[in-house]
Structure 1
Amino acid sequence: MTTRLLVNPAAGGGRAHRLEPWVTARLRSAFGDVDVVRTTSFQHAEQALAELAACDGEGDRVVVMGGDGMVHLGLNHLAGTRIRLGIVPSGTGNDFASSVGLPSRVDEAIKRIVADQVTPIDLAEVTGNVYGGHCWVGCVVSTGYDAIVNRRTNHMTTKFGPLSYGWVALSALADFSPKHYRISVDGQYRELDAMLIAIGNGGHFGGGMRVCPTASVVDGLLDITIIHAVSRRTLLGYLPLLYAGKLSRMDFVETLRAQRVDVDGDDMFAMADGEEIGDVPLTVVARPGAVNLVGLA
């Protein structure tokens, strides 16, 4: 059995770099030898994870330390393997950790990882017109208004932590118009205009916005939130409810559950777990027990 700690030193404005020696010491105390990889780029992290996934040793574990980007890479390379995935949330948003109920405090996260309790959890598998033709998603597949906000946030030159998404969400409304969707939910086809359609394996995105507040990663289903076409003023007034997970109570919001969702539409692209994954059309399918996560209570 091997243990590898994969660290993005820049995560959380350097927080991961500062905490890495302490985390390494705790892991070595529990598991013996720990191979530490400090990633220097997205490509470096991908290469390290691909090498581990190719070995696929029974009982091997990978601990990723960083934000949602690192978690997204871990999920995509370790899905379908026997390798155990541990997460030390140390980014600015940590939406995946919040969605599945992992501790936000690093010391508590390490206690869970050391306990080494494994839970197979669901992932959303996305295929179609996405980069590489395929990807795994832990939290939310976004299209429409939410995807635009996410992309603009990623390209900000100056960021304000989790508040960045909220600030961009306000500014992006100025020139946004509802999108025309063509969707199929478990084979039921419909066309509609909507501000967004979010498809959740987990419930959080955008640094704490609970767009699919009842989503579970162990129920074998996707949660779908449709915000129907409303005025910009109306959406602006209710945006704070996203953080509280209460927006679904509004009469212009529709919630569904399904195993498969096909999404197409006019002039839209897709984001997932904070990363741009490609354009529509795409298909999202719930895949039960896709990855072995360590640390759920």
Structure 2
Amino acid sequence: MTRTGDRPSRLTLIANPAAGGGLGRRLAEGVAGRLSALMPDTRIRTLLSRSWADAEARLAEEVGQSLEDPDPGSRAVVVMGGDGMAHLGLNAVAGTPVGLGVIPAGTGNDFCRGTGLPGRIGAAVAAIASGRSGTVDLARVTGLVRTADGLAEGSRWVGSVVSTGYDARVNHGANELRLRLGSLSYAYVALRELSRFAPLHYRIETDGRVRELDAMLIAVGNAGWIGGGMQICPGADVTDGRLDLTIIHPCSRGTLVRALGSVYTGGFVRLSIVERLRARSVTVDGEGLVAMADGEDLGRVPLRIECVPGALNLLGAGARPQHRGPTH
């Protein structure tokens, strides 16, 4: 559901100063100034995070204070950075009336792509200031997940995609590169990993149906983008109450290269090695699996992933992904 005209009375902008090679630090003050100009009746303050843990703590504090307000829906937080900051932001506000805005200042910005948010800073500021907002689905992941203190049993919210196969290996490898080149980092690591990658054995359960299979990857998408513009779950809709699964079955390296060549357009799904499903809940387990989500280390399998409809109140929402997914 999309609403128009209700601007928050208080808004906190939390920026990652390192995002986009320092873009967050350079532009945070200007973004706050533009928000103030467009939202004269909204009290705005700006914070620069010092680390992942610091950003997570500041967001938790802001949302906690908002929930003590008699009208928590009148307060919002806006994160400025890449998909990591969006991930922290949605984990802080999910399931609450507090609104979340996202200013895309990273190298990936896949969450913005998948939810129909503007991909440019100026347009994102204008969308947040417009008063338009809407609720979108999130994926809730339960199991041994990453927390501020390390891995622990619990749950975590995911906006884009849970990756556990070849895609996760590439994501992890790109994060380890000293030189960050956005989507080019993924392309480089994808070719590097290809030479040593073999199919993985999965055990999955989709809406009660249990399967064991070998696959190059099984991606579970809420919004279907990874790696700075790769459509791994084309047509994923963040308002349909379902998760989109993309399974790439075992294939030769040459066939996988052809698939990767069209992953930016989503055309790879026409290959015979690709299977697509939709489900409300998915459990992923198997051997040698690394779990990544929203560009970050997520946890360890087995993991249960369920779609929670309308879990996030997203500022500036209203656009919809244009591609349709599978109908079965």
Structure 1 counterpart of 2:162: 141
Q: State whether structure 2 residue 80 is matched by structure 1 residue 72.
A: no
* In 1: Cα distance, 2:217 partner to 2:259 partner: 14
Structure 2 counterpart of 1:46: 56
Any idea what SS the aligned residue of 1:226 has? strand
* In 1: Cα distance, 2:290 partner to 2:53 partner: 23
Q: Deviations over 1:34-83 (max 9, x none)?
A: 11100111111011111122122221011111000000000111101111
Which of these residues, 13, 17, 33, is aligned with residue 9 of structure 1? 17
CA-based RMSD: 1.0
Alignment of 1:164-179 (within 5 A): 164-179=185-200
Which of these residues, 161, 185, 203, is aligned with residue 182 of structure 1? 203
Q: In structure 2, list runs of 5 or more residues that go unmatched.
A: 1-8, 147-151, 319-328
Structure 2 counterpart of 1:23: 31
Alignment of 1:184-223 (within 5 A): 184-223=205-244
* In 2: Cα distance, 1:143 partner to 1:231 partner: 19
Q: TM-score, normalised by structure 2?
A: 0.89
* In 1: Cα distance, 2:232 partner to 2:173 partner: 18
Structure 1 counterpart of 2:297: 276
- The farther-off stretch of 134-143 and 28-37 is 28-37
Residue 230 of structure 1: how far off its partner (Å):
0.4
Q: Deviations over 1:82-139 (max 9, x none)?
A: 1111111010010100111111111111110001212011000000122342100000
Residue 273 of structure 1: how far off its partner (Å):
0.3
Any idea what SS the aligned residue of 2:180 has? coil
The alignment-based identity, stated in percent, is 51
* In 1: Cα distance, 2:258 partner to 2:213 partner: 23
* In 2: Cα distance, 1:129 partner to 1:32 partner: 40
Q: Deviations over 1:233-269 (max 9, x none)?
A: 2101221111111111111000000000011111112
Structure 2 counterpart of 1:95: 110
Any idea what SS the aligned residue of 2:262 has? helix
* In 2: Cα distance, 1:134 partner to 1:252 partner: 32
Q: Which letter does structure 2 place at the counterpart of 1:268? A: L
Q: State whether structure 2 residue 142 is matched by structure 1 residue 127.
A: yes
Structure 2 counterpart of 1:106: 121
Q: Which letter does structure 1 place at the counterpart of 2:10? A: T
Q: Which letter does structure 1 place at the counterpart of 2:54? A: H
Q: In structure 1, list runs of 5 or more residues that go unmatched.
A: none
Residue 293 of structure 1: how far off its partner (Å):
0.1
- For this pair of structures, how many residues does the alignment match? 297
Any idea what SS the aligned residue of 1:242 has? coil
